[in-house]
Amino acid sequence: MAKVHAWGAAGAGKPLAPITIDRREPGARDVAIEILFCGVCHSDIHQARDEWSGATFPMVPGHEIVGRVVRVGAAASKLRVGDLAGVGCMVDSCRACAPCGDGLEQFCAAGPAFTYNSTEMDRRTPTFGGYSTQIVVDERYALRIPDGLDPAGAAPLLCAGITTYAPLREWGCKPGDRVGVVGLGGLGHMAVKLAASMGAAVTVLSTSGGKEADAARLGATDFAVTRDGSAFTRLAGKLDLVIDTVSAAHDYNAYLGLLRPRGTMVVLGVPTQPTPVHAFSLIGGNRRLAGSLIGGIAQTQEMLDHCAAHGIVSDVEIIPIQQINEAYERVLQSDVRYRFVIDLASLRG
Ligand code: NAP
Ligand code: ZN
Ligand code: ZN
Q: What span, in angstroms and rounded, lies between the C-alpha atoms of 303 and 281?
A: 32
Give the pLDDT of residue 116.
98
> Are residues 173 and 155 part of one domain?
no
Please state the rounded mean pLDDT for residues 118-128: 98
Is residue 145 within 8 A of residue 304, CB to CB? The reply is yes
Tell me, in angstroms, the distance from the centre of ligand 1 to residue 31's CA: 32
Assess whether 135 and 243 both reside in one domain: no
Q: What CATH number should be reported for the domain holding residue 329?
A: 3.90.180.10
CB distance 250 to ligand 1 below 6 Å? yes
**Count of Cβ atoms closer than 10 Å to residue 131 Cβ:** 30
Do 246 and 220 reside in the same domain of the chain? yes
* 41 pocket-lining for ligand 1 (C-beta < 6 Å): yes
Which residue, judged by its Cα, is nearest atom 30 of ligand 1?
Answer: 269
Predicted pLDDT at 212: 98
Q: Which domain holds residue 115?
A: 2-159+314-348
**180 & 285 share domain:** yes
Task: Indicate if ligand 1 lies below 6 Å from the C-beta of 270.
Answer: yes
| 183 ligand 1 Cβ < 6 A | yes
Q: Quick one: 108 and 41 in the same domain?
A: yes
Backbone angles phi, psi at 98, to 5 degrees: -60, -50
124 and 271 belong to one structural domain = no
- Beta carbon of 293 within 6 Å of any ligand 1 atom: yes
Is residue 297 a part of any domain in this protein? Answer: no
Ligand 1 in reach of 193 Cβ (< 6 A): no
pLDDT for 349 equals: 75
Residue 30 lies in a domain: yes
- Digit-coded pLDDT (tens) for 8-37: 999 999 999 999 999 999 999 999 999 999
CA of 44 to the centre of ligand 2 (A): 7
Mean pLDDT of 90-106: 98
Q: For position 182, what pLDDT does the model report?
A: 98
150 shares a domain with 8: yes
Residue 304 covered by a domain = no
Both 286 and 155 in a single domain?
A: no
Q: Report the SS3 class of residue 178.
A: strand
pLDDT of residue 25: 97
For residue 1, the model assigns a pLDDT of 86
Ligand 1 center from residue 269 Cα (angstroms): 6
Residue nearest to atom 44 of ligand 1 (CA): 43
- Does position 243 have pLDDT exceeding 90, yes or no? yes
CA 7 / ligand 2 centre spacing (Å): 17
Task: Express as a percent the part of the chain with pLDDT over 90.
Answer: 98
For CA atoms 303, 307, 308, 309, the dihedral sign is positive
C-alpha distances in Å from residue 7, one per residue of 40, 78, 269, 344? 13, 29, 25, 10
pLDDT value of position 228: 83
How many domains would you assign to the chain? Answer: 2
Same-domain check for residues 17 and 154? yes
Residues sharing a CB contact under 8 Å with residue 54, sequence separation 6 or more, in sequence order: none
Here the CATH number for the domain that contains residue 191 is 3.40.50.720
Q: Is the CB of 156 under 6 A from ligand 1?
A: no
Confidence (pLDDT) at 102: 98
Q: What is the pLDDT of residues 283-342, one digit of tens each?
A: 999 999 999 999 999 999 999 999 999 999 999 999 999 999 999 999 999 999 999 999
Give the model's pLDDT for residue 270: 95
Question: 245: Cβ below 6 Å to ligand 1?
Answer: yes
Taking a 5 Å cut-off on Cβ, the residues next to ion ligand 2 are 41, 43, 159
- pLDDT(101) > 80: yes
Q: Which of 199-203, 210-214, 227-231, 234-238 has the lowest mean pLDDT?
A: 227-231
Instruction: Assess whether 218 and 101 both reside in one domain.
Output: no
Residue 171 shares a structural domain with residue 190? yes
Mutate to test the pocket of ligand 1, among 245, 273, 299, 300 (most ligand atoms within 8 A of CB): 245
CB atoms near residue 59 (< 10 Å): 27
In this prediction, residues 245-266 reach a mean pLDDT of: 97
The answer, as to whether pTM is greater than 0.75, is: yes
Which of these three, 291, 306, 336, is where a domain ends?
Answer: 291
Cα–Cα distances in angstroms (integers) from residue 125 to residues 122, 240, 265, in the given order:
7, 44, 38
Residue 114 and residue 26 share a domain: yes
